[in-house]
Amino acid sequence: MEKNTFNFYFLGNYDVTNLKKQISLLTEKDWLKYTGRQDVYEAHRETLCIPVLFDINYFNKMGEKTDYYNLFQNEIQLINEHINKQKSKNGQVIRFEIVKMPAKTKIPTHKDNTPSLVEHSRIHLPIQTADQVFFKINDEEKNLKEGEMWEINNVDIHSVTNNSGIDRIHIIIDWKKNASKLI
């Protein structure tokens, strides 16, 4: 499936039980520790991010391992195997972020335009969500369910609305196809 020929591309279900346990260990201090993504990217001003494999400029390279990497290392490998199987390709997770979107907030309409985000797959894995959370790409709107893995077309206009009373938590994964082992 080539980029830009879809809005949402389903990559199967993924058991998020272990991820939920690991994320539950994170404290409010962890959620407030890093503000780079919110400070640099206007569209993400209202979100909170815990970077695991991260590159603030989203260059075409492997993200740096943060203090959180060891907590999620095994899960990153399992997720990478799942994506490779679903896409029938050899690729590598190059970035892995845990993003919280507070209740009753919106990520305004925007396009991602850094070279890496244009070239590589952007994948969302909902960990905590509600029926009142809507992801919109172009004119297509979806409620992504917990444990569903979706590749999104992030180079077209997209937005998210959380009309629910709970925080939405997604793992956001950038995946580079035809990559040699990087981590």
Highest mean pLDDT among 55-64, 83-92, 134-143: 134-143
Kindly state the tokens that stand for 102: 């507070």
pLDDT at 182 over 60: no
For residue 19, the one-letter residue type is L
Q: Rounded mean pLDDT of 31-35?
A: 91
Split at pLDDT 50, 70, 90, the class of 183 is very low
Distances (CA, A) of 11 to 23, 57, 144, 167: 22, 26, 12, 24
Among 74, 82, 111, 113, which residue's Cα sits nearest to residue 175? 82
DSSP H or E stretch at residue 21: helix 17-24
Task: Kindly report, residue by residue over 102-153, the tens digit of the pLDDT.
Answer: 999 999 888 888 777 788 899 999 999 999 999 999 999 999 999 999 999 9
Mean pLDDT of the chain: 90
Q: Which pLDDT does position 179 carry in this prediction?
A: 62
Among 33, 49, 13, 37, which residue's Cα sits nearest to residue 167? 49
Whole-angstrom distance, CA of residue 50 vs CA of residue 121 = 20
Between 54 and 105, the higher pLDDT residue: 105
pLDDT at 1 over 50: no
Split at pLDDT 50, 70, 90, the class of 4 is low
The alpha-carbon radius of gyration of the chain (Å, integer) is 15
pLDDT at 55 over 90: no
Q: Where are the domains of the chain?
A: 8-177
Per-residue b/e over 130-146, b at no fewer than 16 CB within 10 Å?
beebbbbbeeeebebeb
Whole-angstrom distance, CA of residue 172 vs CA of residue 54 = 11
Instruction: Please give the backbone phi and psi of residue 25, each rounded to the nearest 5 degrees, phi first.
Output: -80, -15
Q: Which fold has domain 8-177?
A: Jelly Rolls (2.60.120)
- Pairing, β 133-137 against β 91-101: unpaired
Q: Which pLDDT does position 180 carry in this prediction?
A: 57
3-7, 97-101, 133-137: least confidently modelled range? 3-7
